[in-house]
Chains A and B, each alone.
Chain A
Amino acid sequence: MALKKVKGSLERVFDKNLHDLVRGIRNHKDDEAKFIAQCIDEIKQELRQDNIAVKANAVAKLTYLQMLGYDISWAAFNVIEVMSSNKFTFKRIGYLAASQSFHEETEVLMLTTNMIRKDLSSQNQYDAAIALNGLSCFMTPDLARDLANDVMTLMTSTRPYIRKRAVLIMYKIFLKFPEALRPAFPRLKEKLEDPDPGVQSAAVNVICELARKNPKNYLSLAPVFFKLMTSSTNNWVLIKIIKLFGALTPLEPRLGKKLIEPLTNLIHSTSAMSLLYECINTVIAVLISLSSGMPNHNASIQLCVQKLRILIEDSDQNLKYLGLLAMSKILKTHPKSVQAHKDLILQCLDDKDESIRLRALDLLYGMVSKKNLMEIVRKLMVHMDKAEGSMYRDELLSKIVQICSQNNYQYITNFEWYVSVLVELTRVEGTRHGSVIASQMLDVAIRVKAIRAFAVEQMAQLLENSHTVASSAQRNGICEVLYAAAWIAGEFSEHLRDPRGTLDDMLRQKVTSLPGHIQAVFVQNIMKLYAAILVKYEEDEDNDGIREVSDLLVEKLPMFVQSGDLEVQERACCILQLMKYVKKLQDKDVSCADEVAALFAGELNPVAPKAQRKVAVPEGLDLDKWINDPPSDSSDDEGPANSLFIPDDSRMMNESMTRPVVEELSDDELERRREARRAETQNNPHYLKLGASAKGSKYQEVVNVEDIPVANIDLSVPLYVPVTENSPQSTKRLSDKYLEAERQARKRDKKRRHGKKSKRRHKSESEEDVPVVHKVDIMGGEMPEGATESGDEGNLELDDNDPHKLLDIDLDRPLDADEKLPVRTHRIVSPSAEDRPVEEKKKHHRKDKEKEKKRKEKEKKKSKKEKKRNKSGDDSAHPSLLIATELMSPGHEAIPSPGEEEEVAPPSAPVKKDTTPKKEEPKDDLDFWLSGQDAPVAVEVTAPEPGAAADVDSDAEDTSRHKKKKEKKAKKEKKEKKEKKEKKKKSKVANDEDVDSGRRDGFEELNSDGPPLPPMSSYRLLAEDSNIKMTYETRVQSQQGQQLIVSVIFTSLAEQHLKSLEFNVMDSLNTKMDRLPGATTHDGVPVPFQLPPNSFNEGQFAFQVQSINVAQKLRGTLTYTIKTEESSTSEKLDFKLYLPCTAFLIATPCSSDAFARLLQGGELSSKYSIKLSSGGAPFSHVLAKVCFYGHFAIVEQIDQSASLYSCSTQGHHICLLVKANGGGDVSIDGKCADGSLLSNVMEEIKVTAS
């Protein structure tokens, strides 16, 4: 017992692990907070200890507490300590805690950059993975900037596990550091065709996220995605791509056309519901983007609707829901197709699932017709009574209003019914849609003249019972309807049965509890009513009445004068003074009714929402000009001025309240305009004219309210049932009587028809059969003279705060020289950068640009690799000096499994990988792709043949094959289209060649009609034996003047595994190989991979070179082990590594102006000339060879001569003039500051180019 106690107390003092914490919390249910506070104290103590295990344990506990809602940001530094542990276990705990609690504002994050960088490059892939995972949760702009380059490197890791994470995290980097997008995009694009499906899916994921916000920048990727869509079998990828296409189609209708067929195929073939659903969605998007009416698209719609019906009929509620969701998208453009499934949708209204009912409600919008509107609305009203929760009820309410009012009340045949419905809706408890109902009441009363008498009566009722609705003074609550009621009763007071009674209702004390803007309307309309009453009394010469009503007003109005609302106060004051004046007159027995009534003379018409904007600016008025000089800077104290008046959300009412310009016009003018309007409406068939029913139309005859047959049938139902007594369940709805009446009328109608047995019987279902009782004044609202309604202006713009706004970056524009990912360097010494000729912003040829783009991309790649290497050279903490694109640990790796082999062996030389023709298709190609064929043709990419040196060769072959293909396709086209196609084909061919030429470092003009260029490869053979072959290429980078990378491709020729490869070169005085720290010059550099049979891989080795003006020949040895099942033997292969002077040249573009300045500057003192024989090859070929092997860029080419320019890594400018002297001889004159460099370079050129 005692022991147990001791143990317990000890445990609490010391090392309580996560388990104990959780258990403890569960055992302290009553005083949890206290217990946790105690635990946090312990944790703080633990964090003070030096032992990392104890700290990690404490951090693990904190992570748990964080989930319970405790702030653990105070331990951020300790979390970083744990993250920096060498042990995976602790590191993982640390990163988890960081990912849960760190965010952009966490200050200690700036301490983590180097640690994370180290973890990213860790040899343990799980270390790198947890670092990437953590980073994805707490990326900051600083981290993004500093680590972008490291992540870029990881994107080419040999392990898919790391690659896919690196690809995904790029998205987070882009968000925080948009400048990274353009430099990183080519590689991201490459990853779309990664052999690993996980990486591919990650790349698709990232690009989809990017494209979702800025789709137009990604249109050019459509062909790649299209190919993926037709080839991928991964449903995740497919769904993403198909969703992306859905976002792209609105921008490019031609894309839609191309998509329809493969999507339809997928719809037919797939068994995955998720994929089916997304396909349907995108087909719908396509159909929306296409101008409808094409017959074969009708089939697609039918297919979609059909499939959706299957979804909706499914017992799975999720499918039902999604089916309805997609259906509502179709509804917008193809309502007819959806209407066919009305039965199904009405059925869904009764579903027990609220989400589904809401979806069905959305669809109802398109389901209604003149005939079933009443029925449907009644159904909804029943739902509304049953509905639980005000949310759904509100939704129903707004839907009812929306359905009824759509298309200018197109489906409403009887407005008495509609007004009754609106009045009934005021009984809905706790609705927030009072203003919606109010605006409907106003709209109907104003625009349907025939209904005014009825509406006014109903409004009088509402006012009489105002105490019920006024009880909830909540904004937007149901009391808003009183606004409409008061206005209608006042404005159309001539229809009031008992104006005096209504006036009394409006003057009740209770009214002052209403919101200000409603009271204001009350005040105004009390006056209108008064005017009407006055006129009537004066006619009747009822002087007592006049006196009485005037007294009443004078007595009651002060209650408004005391209102806290300024608007009410102002109006009330004004009117009270007016009343006092009127009363004074009345006391003198002057009849002033007409004058008072004249205050409110004139008809009010709704003003179109856009009317204000359409008012033309008078000539000579400059709205931007200051009227007075602007005030200095005291604009702060100007408060919001408009809050005094009715806020914007009631704009509709506001507008109908505002007396339009008419008010200021003289009577003559007024009359003239009315006349004009009358004349105009005379010709407008939609405009209802009071009493003008002698048109012969059978339906218009019944316009007169008194004549409506329904009214006669239901006289027994009291029209004036007070609303309150109309309790929802017990009494029949007021509006129901219209429904019944209609039903009966229809029955009668049918009988009659039946009797007649008319031939028109089949037509009896048609819409026109429903008698229209009232018609709506379709007038859109008053507009200033000459202005017309126009479509909505204003595009959808991304919010300024949206990080994606910054990512709206043109990705097709070639990279600029300064667009590079920031790389951590100690000191950038770039002698070449300073005196390199300034590139002038001249008008470049398109081809030039193209070329430049390619070159820069390539250069960038190189630079990255080199910098990476350089970094590791600087940082002694990094054990590996290898720049290899792979971050494999030497010797640590198990023998690659067969699955991994493929990744180890990319189809072609890795450097060239990015330049396969397909991926670099320029924008014009997209046009071709889109316009080319209606039938989808999978854009084919022929994978370049494996084989190290064959890449250029295969590229060239590829291109020609490409051409042929297009030609074939073009032939298939119809004849009338043929010519157009031919043209495009030609442009395409030209494009292809552009791409091609761009690929050849510096080679520009290619004679398209000349013989094909001989294959050129920068890879040379290094050495070969029966087991292995090595080819190599040299790479340099402008800012690293003394550094040279030799990229060696090891190709296995053996049938066995080759392992323990070690590459060693004997250093010379001038040239030294970078080795592992601590290694002597006799130690080789281990090659970071093994070679399975028939595979190849690339390793890179860095050299430091002192002087570059002499070519180098270095002796070296490769040692490796052949592993068979029983034994392993060691082998050795000697080689000579030749590093020519041209290896240190970089083809740098130079404008002809800068070139001329260089030549005139006098700096380039040394001259050298050579002559070489072309051996019959055309000049262009010789030029191409010089550019390719010598690393020169063409500055200018005129006929048979050209000027070339190149810059060495150490900043030497070399200018060449190449001239063809008849007879196949080519002479080259060179100028450079360094004579020996120049002569060596030119001698090398002589060898390589002839």
Chain B
Amino acid sequence: MIKAIVVFNNHGKPRLIKFFQHYNEDMQQQIVRETFHLVSKRDENVCNFLEGGRWASGKNSDPENLIGGSDYKIIYRHYATLYFVFCVDSSESELGILDLIQVFVETLDKAFENVCELDLIFHVDKVHYILQELVMGGMVLETNMTEIVTRIEEQSKLEKSEAGLAGAPARVVSAAKNLDLPKLPSNIQLPNLPSFR
């Protein structure tokens, strides 16, 4: 099982947080901070694994301790300004997870066309949707990149076709916003306009 997937940048700013077991927000932030602390001090050319039990023995607030003890490993990869960190238990293959991270990043690259940190900053929702095609509830769902990309594109199409409907009034509203109206009605009822299509 994958217990958590976290993406943060070189300064430890979270760009994606996905926990497959519940922690409250403060704990999540703490885990991100401490994971960052562990991962960031490692050299570029050292191995990509950190073992739970060992590191957790240091402080009892270490992330692996939070995530459940010595059975857990942190597996991460560092791409440009971003760290992709997976916390997994012993049922996952270490090299397999490294591959999975690679698939994830390559899919992002395809979906965003030369993905960079800014893409993740502004489209974190989309990143989530892509991740949902790869991993579900902590288990690997799909690793075939073409399949994933096809599904993502189909969903985007679906979204666009819906936006044709909902987008029109939204555009009108935003146009209206630009006018200097003294008072806007406090709740504009944006009607669903099915007849427009």
Contacts and interface: CB of A to CB of B under 8 A. Distances in A.
A706 B177 CA distance: 99
Contacts of A168: 136-137, 139, 141
B10 interface: no
A239 interface: yes
Interface string B11-37: 000101110101011101100000000
Given A63-B125, A126-B154, A168-B137, A68 B14 contact: yes
B14 A14 contact: no
A318 B98 contact: yes
A29 to B, nearest CB: 11
A1179 interface: no
Contacts, number: 174
Contacts of B16: 67
B197 to A, nearest CB: 13
B117 to A, nearest CB: 12
A274 B50 CA distance: 17
Interface string A60-71: 100110111111
Contact of A71 (B1, B24, B143): B24
B189 A51 contact: yes
A646 to B, nearest CB: 22
Contacts of A23: 122
Interface in B107-126: 121-122, 124-125
Interface in A297-321: 317-318, 320-321
Contacts of B124: 63-64, 67
A1168 interface: no
Interface in A1-24: 3, 6-7, 10-11, 13-15, 18-19, 22-23
A857 interface: no
Contacts of B98: 274, 318
Contact of B47 (A68, A103, A172, A317): A317
Interface string A272-316: 011001100000000000000000000000000000000000000
Contacts of A320: 47
Nearest to A92: B129
Nearest to A236: B143
B178 A165 contact: no
B139 A93 contact: no
A353 B122 contact: no
Interface string B132-168: 1000111111111001000100110011001100100
Pick the most buried of B14, B94, B98, B132: most chain A CB atoms within 10 A of its CB. B132
Interface stretch (A128-136, A435-443, A1222-1230): A128-136
A2 B51 CA distance: 58
A51 to B, nearest CB: 5
A327 B27 CA distance: 36
B47 A15 contact: no
A169 B136 contact: yes
Interface string A61-84: 001101111110000000000000
A1005 interface: no
Nearest to B190: A51
A9 B188 CA distance: 18
A53 interface: yes
Interface stretch (A202-210, A220-228, A377-385): A202-210
A358 interface: yes
B3 to A, nearest CB: 13
Contacts of B80: none
B122 A239 contact: no
Nearest to B159: A89
A11 B175 CA distance: 11
B46 A355 contact: yes
Contacts of B173: 14-15
B90 to A, nearest CB: 8
Contact of A93 (B125, B147, B189): B125
Interface string B62-73: 000000000000
A321 B139 contact: no
Pick the most buried of A10, A23, A103: most chain B CB atoms within 10 A of its CB. A10
Contacts of A7: 177-178
Contact of A202 (B22, B139, B177): B139
B162 A87 contact: yes
Contacts of A92: 129, 155, 159
What does DSSP make chain A's interface, helix, strand, loop or mixed?
A: helix
Interface in A354-375: 354-356, 358
Nearest to A276: B95
B125 A202 contact: no
Contacts of A18: 122, 125
B170 A53 contact: yes
Given A50-B189, A209-B139, A69 B25 contact: yes
A352 interface: yes
A461 to B, nearest CB: 31
A38 B50 CA distance: 40
Given A19-B122, A136-B137, A355-B50, A209 B91 contact: yes
B64 to A, nearest CB: 13
Nearest to B20: A137
Given A14-B184, A96-B125, A71 B139 contact: no
Contacts of A103: 22
A54 B191 CA distance: 12
Contacts of A172: 137
A49 B185 CA distance: 12
Contacts of A239: 93, 96
A50 B95 contact: no
A126 B162 CA distance: 14
B93 A353 contact: no
B188 A322 contact: no
Contacts of A212: 91
A88 interface: yes
Contacts of B54: 358, 391, 395
B163 to A, nearest CB: 7
Contact of A164 (B138, B142, B184): B142
Contacts of A51: 187-190
Nearest to B29: A69
A11 B46 CA distance: 48
Nearest to B158: A88
B179 to A, nearest CB: 9
Given A172-B137, A198-B142, A395-B54, A318 B94 contact: yes
B162 A273 contact: no
Contacts of B190: 51, 53-54
Contact of A67 (B14, B45, B95, B136): B14
A161 B151 contact: yes
Given A206-B139, A320-B47, A126 B166 contact: no
A1089 interface: no
Contacts of B139: 168, 171, 202, 205-206, 209
A68 B121 CA distance: 12
A321 B49 contact: yes
Given A14-B184, A212-B91, A354-B46, A236 B137 contact: no
B9 interface: no
A77 to B, nearest CB: 18
Nearest to B1: A209
Contact of A274 (B14, B95, B187, B188): B95
A449 interface: no
Interface string A40-66: 000000001111011000001001101
26 contacts: A7-B178, A26-B121, A53-B170, A69-B25, A71-B24, A89-B163, A92-B155, A93-B125, A96-B128, A124-B158, A126-B154, A126-B158, A133-B132, A136-B136, A137-B137, A165-B136, A165-B141, A202-B139, A205-B140, A239-B93, A318-B98, A321-B47, A321-B49, A352-B46, A391-B54, A391-B55
Given A48-B187, A320-B47, 15 more contacts: A6-B180, A23-B122, A63-B125, A87-B166, A100-B128, A168-B137, A171-B137, A208-B91, A209-B91, A236-B140, A353-B43, A353-B45, A353-B47, A358-B54, A391-B57
The 7 closest A-B pairs by CB, nearest first: A136-B137, A274-B95, A103-B22, A353-B46, A317-B47, A321-B47, A69-B29
